[in-house]
Chains A and B, each alone.
Chain A
Amino acid sequence: MKRRQFILKSAGGLAVVLMPALILQSCKTNYDSSLALPQQLTFIWDVETMIAIGNQYQQKFPAENKERKLVKLLMKNVPENNDVPINMEDKVIEDYKNDNTVLLDGWILSVTEARQCALFSITHSN
């Protein structure tokens, strides 16, 4: 299993967040941890914002507020062994091109990255 580290820059300085293997074990679903990491949003948001947005998405779409469900939706049409981060970025751009967006706390977000936030918020609540 891969461990991924990412760095979020926040107003208070650097915040280093590890994606623990715990997450992957807890739901017994095997998926790349970067699935729960909307890459571009890490450049502008801190961890708290990402979790808050993820929670808002779950409230707005209660049918998607389970880890397994979100993973399934995010991995839809993604070939096996494909580079997940790049694939997610492609999906995000396709979402914006197809107007597949959602408004959360005023943020105009791609559905894919909103789901990634939701997955992030679930995995960080465990």
Chain B
Amino acid sequence: MHIDARNLANNSVIQGDICIIGAGTAGISIALEWINTPYKVILLEGGGFEYDEKVQELYNGKTTGQKYYPLKSARLHYFGGTTGHWAGMCAPFDEIDFKKRDWVPNSGWPINRKDLDPYYARANKTVQVGPYNYDFDYWQKELPNLNPFPLDKNVIWDKMWQFSQARYGQLYKDNIVKAKNIHLYTYANAVDIKANDNISEINNVVVKNYAGKTHTVKAKHFIMACGAIQNARMLLASNSQAKTGLGNSNDIVGRYFMEHLELHAAELWMLKPFPTDLYQWKYGETKAYAELAIKEEVQAKEKITNGTVSFSSLASGKHQKSRMEVWQETDPRESAKKLFKSWDEAAELAKNEKGNIERAFLLQIRIEQSPNPNSRVSLDTEKDELGVPRAHLNWELSALDKKSIRKIFHILGQQMAIAGLGRIKINEYLRDENDDTFPDTTNGGWHHMGTTRMSENPKTGVVDPNCQVHGITNLYVAGSGCYVTSAAPNPTLTLVALSLRLSDFVKSKLS
């Protein structure tokens, strides 16, 4: 069922068994699990079914520290969320990503990979990729010409990705709207979360829209699913009872914001052509591909973080501007147009590149950002049209991040040479071992993680291992804000898995 909250009588009271705040990847994934259950589910979406500039403007905010994308265009504020333009890359986290690593401060999840495996299998179906099998050997049998580089498997391995084309807004609209027990309210922006007197339980959520309507939502359980930046913002802004915000008595909400550093880092010049389809992909066509990953034992020995390396043609790559340079329009549609245009321009210039460069590759790394408490989302002094303080993101990286990238390419350079494949040339910003800074061209993946991190101890986390906010019995956070570390792969598959796990937990509480 769908209701446009702009058309409701002002000061309506909406009631249900559970309330999911946000109809993006996490919120919709959870809502789907509740269809045809005996429970009334309220699903709140701040936008509508299409892009709405006035709603998108609510995501505007400030950024400081390392150069970042405009907050307004870093995510999409409508039904379906950022699946509206994601690339669809799916891979599970590695076992090491959940472990306490003594060389990575603040690492160590209270759950492990095995805890998530059953949910990864279900998540694969939700995002509509193939079977829950990410082994290279499996895909080499399934698809032709997946020839791996003959690198030392004790050092480097081929980590597999699958590709989703799920745009949740189109894919699941009918499922949600036609489900009798799912009550989707569009244009229902959460602006305040109200607890009981001792802040141990949430009583209701206040929602508003730019049509001037205000409504109250009551439920037995509330799941925040607005994305890592917005979830943190809402917890901090709901401070009429707890001055530092909800779930924030230990000043952790908003801290440990993590992105994936996605950088052009080096060039690989191959001695001769190597025929393979394993390391390149095309949207809408490729089912699975690989990026080069570093073995867990090597990460531990070298004390580096987890990252993977991908390949693109150097002939076009050398002409490409970084995404951080290009994606600076506050309208995400304009930024996307500029990005695609820059790719087309680079491809055109590539036609003039002949010779050895035709078998040379640009190497890009996607690497986890080590958890840094000073990298954080806080509240700005400026408020949005609905009266909520805007988000202020201070993105801060650390020396371990730079050291890890440098080391990974050193290892890759050695291994490529030993295998007789080629030579690696690292980019200038990586060459000085005494320089820990990152250039302004450092890309993020638009992956927002860590702002409501998970821990068994409320002094070191916002949510417990079930994603329940510490100290508040009926408030939960869904999504990548709960991550303790950010791992190498894109976050979507894991956030769906974690959300499905949370959904099961809330079901168990209700029943």
B272 touches A93 (CB 8 A): no
Contacts of A93 in B (CB 8 A): 417-418
Stretch of A55-63, A70-78, A100-108 contacting B (4+ beta carbons < 8 Å): A100-108
User: What's the interface size class on B, roughly?
Assistant: 20 to 34
CB-CB nearest in chain A for B266? A106
B270 partner residues in chain A, CB cutoff 8 A: 44
- Decide if B425 touches A105 in the complex (CB within 8 Å): yes
Are B356's CB and A108's CB within 8 A? no
**Known contacts A9-B355, A9-B356, A11-B356: A108-B410 contact under CB 8 Å:** yes
Residues A106 and B356 in contact, CB atoms below 8 Å apart: no
The answer to whether B414 touches A99, judged by C-beta atoms less than 8 angstroms apart, is: yes
B420 within 8 A of A: yes
**Closest Cβ neighbor of A38 among chain B residues:** B423
**Interface check B87, CB cutoff 8 A:** no
Q: When A43-B271, A44-B271 are in contact, do A108 and B418 touch as well, CB less than 8 Å? A: no
Beyond A44-B269, A44-B356, whether A106 also contacts B427 by CB under 8 A is yes
Q: Is A96 an interface residue (CB 8 A)?
A: yes
> A110 to chain B: which residues have CB within 8 Å?
417
Find residues 413-443 in chain B having any chain A CB closer than 8 Å to their own CB: 413-415, 417-418, 420, 422-428, 430-431
Q: How far is the CA of A106 from the CA of B264 in the complex (A)?
A: 14
B357 part of interface (Cβ distance < 8 Å): yes
Are B417 and A108 interface neighbours, CB within 8 A?
yes
| Chain B residues closer than 8 Å to A105, beta-carbon distance | 425
Task: Point out the residue from B357, B414, B427 that lies within 8 Å of A108, measured CB to CB.
Answer: B414
How distant is the Cα of A45 from the Cα of B270 in the complex, in angstroms?
11
Q: Is the CB of A96 within 8 A of B269?
A: no
Residue interface mask A89-126, B partner, CB < 8 A = 1: 00011001101010101111110000000000000000
Q: Is the CB of A11 within 8 A of B425?
A: no
CB-based contact A101/B424 at 8 Å: no
- The reply to whether the CB of A5 lies closer than 8 angstroms to some CB of chain B is no
B426 in contact with A41 (CB, 8 Å) = no
How far apart are A41's CB and chain B's nearest CB, in angstroms?
7
- Contact of B301 with A by CB under 8 A: no
CB distance from A9 to the nearest CB of B (A): 6
Query: Is A43 touching B356 in the complex (CB atoms < 8 A)?
Result: yes
Docked-complex contact B410 and A11, CB < 8 angstroms: no
- The answer to whether A108 touches B271 (Cβ under 8 A) is no
Contact B420 A40 (CB under 8 A): yes
Interface residue A30 (Cβ < 8 Å from any Cβ of B): no
Chain A residues contacting B423 (CB-CB under 8 Å) are: 40-41, 44, 107-109
Residues of the A chain whose Cβ atoms lie less than 8 Å from the Cβ of B354? 11
Task: Please name the residue on chain B nearest to A107 by beta carbon.
Answer: B425
A11 to chain B: which residues have CB within 8 Å?
354-357
Nearest Cβ distance between residue B381 and chain A, in whole angstroms?
44
Give every chain B residue within 8 A of A97 (Cβ-Cβ): 414, 418
B425: chain A residues within 8 A (beta carbon): 105-108
Contact of A107 among B414, B415, B418, B424 (CB under 8 A): B424
Could you say which residues of chain B place their CB within 8 Å of the CB of A44? 269-271, 356, 360, 422-423
Known contacts A9-B356, A44-B356; A101 and B414 CB within 8 A of each other: yes
Q: Report which of A40, A92, A108 forms a contact with B413, defined as CB distance below 8 A.
A: A108
Interface string of A1-32 (1 = CB under 8 A from B): 00000000111100000000000000000000
Contact check: which of B266, B355, B413 meets A10 at CB < 8 Å? B355
Complex interface: chain A residues within 8 A of B357 (CB): 11
Partner of A101, one of B266, B269, B272, B413: B413
- Give per-residue flags for B354-375: 1 if the beta carbon is below 8 A from chain A beta carbons, else 0: 1111001000000000000000
Q: Which of B417, B418, B428 makes the CB contact (< 8 A) with A106?
A: B428
Contacts of A103 in B (CB 8 A): 426, 431
Q: Which residues of B contact A45 (CB under 8 A)?
A: 356
* B424 and A108 contacting across the interface, CB-CB below 8 Å: yes
CB distance from B268 to the nearest CB of A (A): 10
Chain A residues packing against B (C-beta within 8 Å): 9-12, 40-41, 43-45, 92-93, 96-97, 99, 101, 103, 105-110
Selected A-B contacts with CB under 8 Å, 18 pairs: A11-B354, A12-B355, A40-B420, A40-B423, A44-B269, A44-B270, A44-B422, A93-B417, A96-B414, A96-B417, A97-B414, A101-B414, A103-B431, A108-B409, A108-B410, A108-B414, A108-B417, A108-B423
Given contacts A44-B356, A92-B417, 10 further A-B contacts (CB under 8 A): A9-B356, A10-B355, A11-B355, A44-B360, A44-B423, A45-B356, A93-B418, A96-B417, A105-B425, A106-B430
**Which 6 pairs from chain A and chain B are nearest by CB?**
A108-B413, A11-B355, A44-B269, A106-B425, A43-B271, A96-B417
